[in-house]
Amino acid sequence: MKIKLRNFKECKMKVSHIFAAVLALVLMVATGSVAEAQGSRNNQFDEVGLFLGVGYYNGEINPKQPFYKSQFAFGFNLRHGFNERMALTFQASRCKVKGDDADFSDLYRKARGAKFENEITELAFSFEYNFLPLVKGSPTQCVTPFVAAGAGVCMASFPNEGLQACIPFGLGVKIAPLPRLCFSLEWKYRKLFSDMLDHIGEDTYAAELGGATKQKSFLGDKDWYAFAGVVISYQMSKSGGNSRLCPAYRK
């Protein structure tokens, strides 16, 4: 037990170091972009952003309910715009997720009595497609719905498992009322390839529930988690992804 606890603490420390390194990278990119904003016409990342919102979990304890035990989530974004409709975003996010069988009324979950907390650090890339052309600062083209999908890595406590791949996908609305400022309202799910986010093992049975026929988990029902919130992004360069726009909007 002591060995497992020490390994978990070491893993948690490594995750914190990785997140700190990503934050340092975001700050360096932002600082470099500020220095080059007046002369650069092709920054690698056009926007630096802050994500604030909530995160929650779906799995054996909570199969369907959205925003169950929502916890504060935050992250940092780097977004590169290819044109008015397409963009690539890198995001580093952190959140704690929780679950407790006692929150539900069905007899099976009350008898099982499972409960967990898990801290998630995620690094992910997402491709975004705007349904309408987005022109920052335009009075008529500054709002668009969008969809996003990509791939990432989830770092959390997965008993007997290491890092897990995840597939982020979702939708949102972008609002860009000023030439360099953009707000994104986002709701994105993450599909995991592990059933251990809630620490309830797959295809295991609980004798304490009355015999070997009482299943604790469900075959093929992998765990999920989701983030919902707002991203506040600032375009560091005058050109960036909107280089083809009318100069009146590139101020």
The pair of three-digit structure tokens given for residue 76, joined into one six-digit string: 């940092």
Condensed to tens digits (0 to 9), the pLDDT of residues 8-41 reads 445 555 555 555 555 555 455 444 444 444 444 4
Condensed to tens digits (0 to 9), the pLDDT of residues 122-151 reads 999 999 999 999 998 998 999 999 999 999
Give the model's pLDDT for residue 200.
82
- Rounded Cα distance between 87 and 230, Å, is 17
Kindly tell me if the per-residue pLDDT of 245 is higher than 60.
no
- Rounded Cα distance between 11 and 92, Å, is 17
Condensed to tens digits (0 to 9), the pLDDT of residues 51-91 reads 999 999 998 889 889 999 999 999 999 999 898 999 999 99
Among candidates 34, 49, 40, which has minimal Cα distance to 87?
Answer: 49
Condensed to tens digits (0 to 9), the pLDDT of residues 151-207 reads 999 999 888 777 899 999 999 999 999 999 999 999 999 999 888 898 886 545 555
Among candidates 61, 73, 156, 75, which has minimal Cα distance to 114?
Answer: 61
Give the model's pLDDT for residue 36.
46
Quickly count: other Cβ atoms within 10 Å of residue 59's Cβ: 25
Average pLDDT over every residue of 82-104: 93
Kindly tell me if the per-residue pLDDT of 48 is higher than 70.
yes
In order of their start, the domains of the chain are 2-249 (2.40.160.20)
Kindly tell me if the per-residue pLDDT of 226 is higher than 90.
yes
- Rounded Cα distance between 66 and 89, Å, is 25
**Which residue spans within 132-199 are E strands per DSSP?**
143-155, 164-178, 181-192
